[in-house]
Amino acid sequence: MRMLVAYFSCTGYTEELALAIRAELESRGHEVVVEKIKPAVTYSWLREAARDFPRYPSIIFSLVSASWKEHHMRTYNQVEEDIQALRYPDISEFDRICVGGPKWAQMSYPVARYLQIVRGIRGKKVGTFCTVGGPPLPVFEEEFVFEPMRRLLERMGAQVVGRVCISSAYHAARLMPLFRLISRIRFHRPIADFLLESEYGKTGVKDFCTAVEQ
């Protein structure tokens, strides 16, 4: 099959994941084309985070109240950011699409814009991937990225068939001591167990590719 792997990466971790996905798909005999989503202007991480600060209290409160989380997701508002011209603005020629980026509290803004402007995605099977600074907590880390992506993609007539979330154990805001502690408490495992090169990461990439090629 002819497949597209489209990704945004600010500090390089999601790029490593995207390239691992490409290598795995190619090893299975697929032709893979890569689209690197590039922001029109590069801002500091703090300036990027600040654009979403008004939603942070709602995100944090969602962790302690299921009904608030439902409300947050229903009234979800995604920050977007201008991106450079795409090599493949129309992706209708591809049999499968993989799209991903880092978690920026929710979806990263360049990925959100990409999904709004790319054409030809209707009817496609799509795999979504992300990297997070913390451990891959199903609710806080994964759901806040994958759920908005799934809803947006389904609104556009695409079907999400696979997803993978890998930890980079990196956060520009120096939150790693907190994330390491959360990993120990929640999973009883060090955060290193969730990196791309870990068993979790390797299996995650393989399972993701299997789901995408079905």
Question: Distance between the two ends of the chain, CA-based, in angstroms?
Answer: 11
On whether the CB atoms of residues 127 and 98 are closer than 8 A, the answer is: yes
- Binding of ligand FMN by 138 (CB under 6 A): no
Shortest Cβ distance from residue 120 to ligand FMN (Å)? 25
Q: Which among 129, 92, 174, 118 has a CA at the least distance from the CA of 8? A: 129
Q: Angle between the 199-213 and 13-27 helix axes, to the nearest 10 degrees?
A: 60
On whether the CB atoms of residues 170 and 11 are closer than 8 A, the answer is: yes
Binding segment (CB under 6 A) for ligand FMN, from list 68-76, 112-120, 165-173, 191-199: 165-173
Contacts to ligand FMN from residues 28-57, by CB under 6 A: 45, 48-49
Q: Which among 82, 72, 79, 105 has a CA at the least distance from the CA of 173? A: 105
Shortest Cβ distance from residue 145 to ligand FMN (Å)? 9
Contacts to ligand FMN from residues 90-129, by CB under 6 A: 102-105
Shortest Cβ distance from residue 122 to ligand FMN (Å)? 28
Number of residues interacting with ligand FMN: please give it, by CB under 6 A. 23
Shortest Cβ distance from residue 79 to ligand FMN (Å)? 9
- Binding of ligand FMN by 62 (CB under 6 A): no
Q: Using CB under 6 A, which of 78, 128, 129, 133 touches ligand FMN? A: 133
Shortest Cβ distance from residue 29 to ligand FMN (Å)? 27
Q: Using CB under 6 A, which of 117, 172, 181, 192 touches ligand FMN? A: 172
- Binding of ligand FMN by 208 (CB under 6 A): no
DSSP 167-187: E----TT--HHHHHHHHHHHH
Other CB atoms within a 10 A radius of the CB of residue 195 amount to 20
Binding segment (CB under 6 A) for ligand FMN, from list 112-120, 121-129, 157-165, 166-174: 166-174
The contacts of residue 100 (CB under 8 Å, 6+ apart) are 6, 7, 8, 14, 17, 18, 111, 128, 129, 130, 131
Shortest Cβ distance from residue 149 to ligand FMN (Å)? 14
**Angle 117-120-123 (CA atoms, 0-180°, nearest 5)?**
120
Q: What is the binding site for ligand FMN (CB under 6 A)?
A: 9-15, 45, 48-49, 102-105, 131-134, 141, 168, 170-172
